[in-house]
Amino acid sequence: MRLRHSVAVLPLALVLSACGGGAPTPSPAPTASTPSVRRPAPAARPTEQRVLDHQLRDAVWKNDLAAARRLIRQGADVNAKDDTRQSAYLIATSEGHLDLLRLTLRHGAKVDDKDSWNGTGLIRAAERGHGLVVGELLRAGIDRDHVNRIGYQAIHEAVWLGHDTASYATTVRVLAAGGGRLDQVSSSAGLTPLQMARARGFDGLERILDHMTNADRPADADAALLRAARAGDADAVAAALRAGADIETRDANGRTALLLASTFDHVAAAEVLVAMGASADALDDRHDTPWLVTGVTGSVRMLETLLPANPDLTIRNRFGGISPIPASERGHVDYVRRVVRTGVDVDHVNDLGWTALLEAVILGDGGRNHQEIVRILLDAGADPDLADHDGVTPLQHAEQRGYDEIARILRAH
């Protein structure tokens, strides 16, 4: 169990004052004989460093990315540990804070650092079922098979201390896809991961581990990966990656495994691929990407699955549009409601001269779904006066089509 170590946070000025540190003596202003030279900031004093490090750990506990960035800029150490041997980096792994984990890795986190149980961040993340964090750590080169002081690898903790749920299924698949050992007997439990799943009655995890340990290795791993992604077989996706498949391999139409999974809305397969680093921006021969396809399918679950892959929201489809445009045309209300919160450009104009708002009116049916989409887009800042290439506004299009409710909504803005 990972326990938070609570310590009161004192203002930095108060701590420094208590330690005899007053305000710094100002440097003399430069003169003609003393040229102005930009010098590096002096290293933090020991007490100041301890405060910064503590505040950074506290920010990570709170999942406060902005504060963590600021504290790191001020010199906080992502590897500095408290008296429970937890650092900002290790806390990010156990709490599943992916963006904070990435921040600590960019600023020198010791990827194989250990906690008080002699466990790595991979073990901590696996115990909690944080599949995305597990994938990030595997790709960062962490020791896949480290054993902690109670005799568990990451895969043991995911099964023995986890649950038979979707998040742990993804975690186990990612651990397998990353090449970790699956047949090691835990020195404390005396069981392999597969035996652990059986002992706990975890039918789902048992099925996954049985597939990973007993299925035949595919003769063509790349082809197996594409077939599995298209079919939505998340276990076979992990097995193909474990067998060495290129995660960005493409079919005859230039589609990657992630694009296939996204096209057919196979979320579980996509989760494994995203955790293992698949690109959400890979273009096929129709100029579709995994992200762009979500605007056509309207899948909010797939949108959420792809966001950790940091998709490029500006990539255009073959019509020059971005994902909110086809979603608005098709009446995908929940998708539009979610996608406008990503910061995507709601006034983007495609090659036909249409915005998402114009498509909702011109290609919609004027019914409740398109009425709601018009409201969502306007509330998100869409310009109701942005006309098409012929100078016709959304309101004029609505009036011409007899869409009285949409026209009323547009007039109100």
Which pLDDT score, from 0 to 100, does residue 413 have?
87
Cβ atoms 356, 319 nearer than 8 A: no
Judge: domain 46-110, CATH 3.30.70.2190: no
Closest CA to 76 of 68, 84, 85: 68
Cβ atoms 247, 278 nearer than 8 A: yes
- Could you report the per-residue pLDDT of 62-106, keeping only the tens digit for each? 999 999 999 999 999 999 999 999 999 999 999 999 999 999 999
Is 313-412 in the same CATH topology as 46-110? Answer: yes
Average pLDDT for the chain: 91
* Length, in residues, of the chain: 413
Confidence label for 45 from pLDDT (cuts 50, 70 and 90): confident
Encode burial over 6-17: b for 16+ CB neighbours within 10 A, e otherwise. Answer: eeeeeeeeebbe
- Could you report the per-residue pLDDT of 177-215, keeping only the tens digit for each? 999 999 999 999 999 999 999 999 999 999 999 999 998
Cβ atoms 327, 298 nearer than 8 A: yes
Boundaries of every domain in the chain: 46-110, 313-412
Cβ atoms 95, 124 nearer than 8 A: no
Identity of residue 27: S
Confidence label for 42 from pLDDT (cuts 50, 70 and 90): low
pLDDT of 257 over the 70 cut:
yes
Task: Using DSSP, state whether 31 is helix, strand or coil.
Answer: strand
Query: In whole angstroms, what is the distance from residue 117 CA to residue 302 CA?
Result: 36
Which pLDDT score, from 0 to 100, does residue 43 have?
63
Task: Using DSSP, state whether 39 is helix, strand or coil.
Answer: coil
- Compute the radius of gyration of the chain from its Cα atoms: 26
Query: In whole angstroms, what is the distance from residue 308 CA to residue 275 CA?
Result: 8
Closest CA to 385 of 403, 411, 348: 411
Query: In whole angstroms, what is the distance from residue 168 CA to residue 200 CA?
Result: 14
Query: In whole angstroms, what is the distance from residue 202 CA to residue 182 CA?
Result: 16
Top CATH class of 313-412 equals: mainly alpha
Region 146-159: mean pLDDT is 97
Confidence label for 34 from pLDDT (cuts 50, 70 and 90): very low
Cβ atoms 144, 178 nearer than 8 A: yes
Which pLDDT score, from 0 to 100, does residue 46 have?
84
Tokens for 173, please give them: 């698949």
- Could you report the per-residue pLDDT of 107-141, keeping only the tens digit for each? 999 999 999 999 999 999 999 999 999 999 999 99
Q: How far is CA 364 from CA 206, 314, 327, 330, 373, in A?
A: 47, 24, 11, 7, 10
Count of CA atoms in the C-beta half-sphere (13 A) of 277: 15
Question: Could you identify the residue written with the tokens 């076979």?
Answer: 236
The more confidently predicted of residues 29 and 402 is 402
Furthest C-alpha separation in the chain: 80
Region 266-270: mean pLDDT is 98
Closest CA to 278 of 167, 181, 135: 135
- Could you report the per-residue pLDDT of 5-16, keeping only the tens digit for each? 333 333 333 333
Q: Which helix (H) or strand (E) holds 198?
A: helix 193-200
Q: How far is CA 351 from CA 317, 319, 321, in A?
A: 10, 6, 7
Task: Using DSSP, state whether 374 is helix, strand or coil.
Answer: helix
